[in-house]
Structure 1
Amino acid sequence: MTAPAAADVYRPQHDSRLLIAALSEAGPLRGRRVADLCAGSGVIGFAAAKLGAASVTAFELSPAAVSLARAHAAAAAIPVEVRLGCWTRALDCRPFDVVACNPPYVPIASATAPSELPADAGPICSWHGGHDGRRVLDPLCRAAPELLAAGGTLLVVQSEYAGVGQTIRRLAEAGLRARVVAAERIPYGPVLSSQARDWEASGRIGVGCRSERIAVIRADKP
């Protein structure tokens, strides 16, 4: 199979690997029903299936990513159902025992023109989190109790720039027990690198800062 172009599919990076590590440490998946939201190429869902999940359903907006994920699942005989559509489609087949999500969380100013963004950043829907990075995070926090079965777990990865504390508060307000279970400091990728000078000028980051903290938040439903 020809490798996808960077513009077509978000390629797994530090955040994907950190989320997979947290998923593997979250507890036994055998016999559990799992959803992979904002699935991209499907690596999180594939990891859940390999960890013994009873069923895995992945949801992804990008047709190119869905095609790639389905092809990989078929070639490797990995039992993951990949559906084209917004993550909210998972509400139609809830509840799940485990929900994992690597949402778009990069804050991008509304005045930023597409021509100012790097061509190798991957599809914009995979990382553009709105002006504050919370375009998906806030609705996900509100929907989490509906998505989860009793005793279920949500795992979501995000950048410090999208407000880790805010996500924990929103999940707590929704009635879940939330905390950071994994974190890592990583160098800026192409999108943040393209924004860095403007962020320095606005005082959002210190001069010369070129790394961010990403975190996995776990939220459990009683």
Structure 2
Amino acid sequence: MRCVVLPGVYPPQEDTRLLAAALCREELPRAARVLDVGTGSGALAVAAARRGAAEVTAIDVCGRAVLTARLNGLLAGCRIRTVRGDLLSPVAGERFDLVVANPPYVPTPPGPRPPRGIARTLDGGEDGRTVLDRLCTQVPAVLRPSGVLLLVHSALCGVRPTLALLAAGGLKPQVIDRVLIPLGPETRARAEWLLARGLLAPGEEKEELVVIRAQRV
């Protein structure tokens, strides 16, 4: 989809497209409730509404992202409930059939966290898992019985820890998509640090993105 992206908001990229493709393959139950966590532009929330979800909620900690998602929902003629807040705290006590998430996952050198802007949307902490681990721990509580999480992130921050955390929460996780993409500008800029940490191999020019599907059992 073509969409408006306000300054400082994460624009749809390869990870967004990969997750959207997985969303389009997912069978939604009747009157499905869908949650898009860290919505950014709202592209995934719009995709869920177009797939026939009865109710779509989009959450982001960034006010500009919430406004962007609202605008793109209106432009697409889709009803999307937009909420500002940290991860799943705004929907505590609610349950959803499908949760989609594209959290910050880029391993980031230590130092002050940027207060806003694109850099913050990518900052996953030193191991890339600062937000990812919190999400994996919290998400089982908002899934209905047989509810599904669709999650995308880079293999640079580890796939096995994600699978283990989701399984520990009572979900049945599996990797359903893998794709190699060229290193993005932010990742390339910190390639030397990633190499020193053993997260990149010498001469490596690509990273692997994975989509994980985890179902509540």
Q: Same fold judged by TM-score > 0.5?
A: yes
Q: Deviations over 1:158-209 (max 9, x none)?
A: 0001111110011111111000011110011111010112323444322211
Q: Distance in 2 between matches of 1:132 and 1:154?
A: 22
Q: Distance in 2 between matches of 1:200 and 1:107?
A: 11
Q: Distance in 2 between matches of 1:141 and 1:188?
A: 25
Q: Distance in 2 between matches of 1:39 and 1:221?
A: 22
Q: Deviations over 1:112-134 (max 9, x none)?
A: 886xxxxxxx5233111111111
Q: Percent identical across equivalent pairs? A: 38
Within the candidate set 131, 136, 159, 2:154 is matched to: 159
Q: Distance in 2 between matches of 1:198 and 1:139?
A: 24
How many residue pairs were aligned?
214
Do residues 38 (structure 1) and 38 (structure 2) align?
yes
**Contact kept? 1:129, 1:135, Cα under 8 Å:** yes
**Contact kept? 2:4, 2:71, Cα under 8 Å:** no
Instruction: Report matched runs for 1:165-176 at 5 Å.
Output: 165-176=160-171
Q: Distance in 2 between matches of 1:202 and 1:218?
A: 28
Q: TM-score, normalised by structure 1?
A: 0.89
Gaps of 5+ in 2: none
Matched residue, 1:68:
68
Local SS of the residue matching 2:92: helix
Distance 1:14 1:30, change over 3 A: farther
**Contact kept? 2:5, 2:68, Cα under 8 Å:** no
Q: TM-score, normalised by structure 2?
A: 0.91
Gaps of 5+ in 1: 115-121
**Contact kept? 2:73, 2:79, Cα under 8 Å:** yes
**Contact kept? 1:30, 1:51, Cα under 8 Å:** no
Distance 1:202 1:176, change over 3 A: closer
1:100 deviation in Å? Answer: 0.4
